[in-house]
Structure 1
C-alpha cells in the first residue's frame, strides 16, 4: 500500500479527497494546521475503510514545511498533492504576511509547495511511478517582479492570482526537470468557486460543488499519466500565457533561488 501526502486535508477539497484516496487503497498522510481537525480527518478516512496518519504543520512557516517533509521523507510516497492554500481573504482585507515575512498568499500558495516538493523529490523518484498534483486556479494574473510582495496597492485577489500563475509556471519547469524520472507533475483548476470556506469568506456565491472539483482532482491523482499539463477540471487547458512564457519562468526561477 503506497502513501499519498495530502496538504490542506481538513476542509474543502482536501477533506473530500482524503477518504476517497483511502478507499482507493492509499495510506493518506493527512496534513492540517489544527490538531483536532487533523484527528477528525484521520477518523473520517478510517470510517470510510481506509488508512490514514495525521501531520500538523503551518505552511505559512517554511521551517514547519521542512519539518513536515522530514517526517514523511522515508515513507513509500507515490503521490504528493499540494492542495493547501489561502484564498482571496475578506473583501477589502489588509495585507498579511507569513512567519518568514512574505506576503501570505505568495508564501502558502507558492513557496510552501515549492519547498515541500523539492524536499520530497528524492523520495518520489525512489518510489516511481509517482505523481505531483498542484492545486491551482484559472484565476491568474501577470507577476510584477518589481513588487513581488505587493507592498504597493495591495489586493488579496491580485495576490492570490499572481501566486497561482507562479504555481503553474513552476509546475511546468518541474515537469521538464523530472522528464524520464517516472514522476509526473501537473496543475489543476478543480472547479470554479467551489462551496468552500475560503470562497464563503470572500462573500462569493459558490458556483460549483466540492464534489465537482474533487472528482476531477481524484482522477488526476489516481489515473493521469501525462505530465506538464494544466487542467480545467477534467480537461487539459491552457493557463494564462505568462505561465508558459520562457522569460517569465526564467525570472521566477531566479526569484525562487533567493528564498531562504
Structure 2
C-alpha cells in the first residue's frame, strides 16, 4: 500500500463492522480518516478506540443519518467547511429492512440509504474531490447485485415489498451508478470503482435482518474460512482500492478480492444506467455540474439529443 500521509479519506458507516476495520487500516497508513455514524456516543467511543489502537489523532467523527437527505447535505456542508479537498470517498453505509419502511423524504429505506444517499453525497462532495490532485470514489455493493431488478414503477415497494428484492435492487443500483459516474468523470483525475466485500458475519448490516436471515448468518459464520470473511479479510479490497498505486487511473470496474471481475450483465446496460441516473437526479434534487456527454433520449416526437444543465 502507498503511504497515505497528507491524504483525507471519508468512509460512511465507519463506526461499526467493516467500516471500522477499514478506518483503522487507512489511519495506520497515515491518512486523516473521517468516519460517519448515527449515534454520537457510540461514534466517540469507536474513534477513541481507533486512536488508541493505531496511535493517531487523525480519526474524526461526523454524525449523520443517511435515511435523511437533509442530513446528507448537512454532512457534506460540514465536511466542505473543514476540508478543502477529499482524496478518497468510500460509500460504505448500508442496511437491509425486514419490512417496508419509508424515510421522512418518502422513499423506501433500503433504497434511500444504500443508493440515494451515496448518489447525493458524492454529488455534494465533488468540489472537494476535484480539489485533490487525484481522488478515488469507492462504492460498496454486494454479490447480490446479480439478483437485483430495478422496478421503476415501484422503486419504493409501495405496491409490493420484499426485503431481499429491495436489498438486491439497491446493490445493483450502486453498480450502475458507479459505471455511469465513471464514464462522466473519465476526463478528470477522479476514479470511480465498486467492490464486493464478500460475506462477513457479525457486521451491523445483520442488525436489520429478519430472524431466519440472522440464523442463516450465524450458521454461515461457522463455515470454513474459505466461505466467509473476517472483518480484517473483508477490509482488504477497500484498502487496496483506496491506497494501492496498482489501481491508479483505473475506473469503472467491479472488484472482488482485489481483482477486477464482471458484475451482473444487466449492470452494463447503458440505457438502464442513464434511466436510473435521471430518476436519481429527480429523487435527490441534485444540480449536477458533472461534464455530461451528449445523450439521446426517446420522446413522443422521436429521438432527441439533450444535455443536463451544469
TM-score (norm 1): 0.94
Q: 1:131 aligns to what SS in structure 2?
A: strand
Structure 1, unpaired ranges of 5+: none
2:263 to 215, 239, 242: 239
Partner of 1:49: 55
Partner of 2:185: 178
Cα distance, 1:136 vs structure 2: 0.7
Residues 159-194 of structure 1, C-alpha deviations (whole Å, 9 max, x = no match): 011011011001111111111311110000011244
* 2:200–2:234 contact (8 Å) kept in structure 1: no
Cα distance, 1:239 vs structure 2: 1.3
1:84 to 90, 93, 99: 93
Question: Matched residues in 2 for 1:177 and 1:41: separation?
Answer: 36
Partner of 1:253: 277
Partner of 2:203: 196
TM-score (norm 2): 0.79
Partner of 2:22: 17
Pairwise CA RMSD of aligned residues?
1.4
Number of aligned residues = 256
Greater displacement, 156-165 / 202-211: 202-211
Partner of 2:110: 105
Question: Matched residues in 2 for 1:95 and 1:149: separation?
Answer: 8
Q: 2:137 aligns to what SS in structure 1?
A: strand
Is 1:148 matched up with 2:172?
no
Structure 2, unpaired ranges of 5+: 1-5, 222-227, 286-310
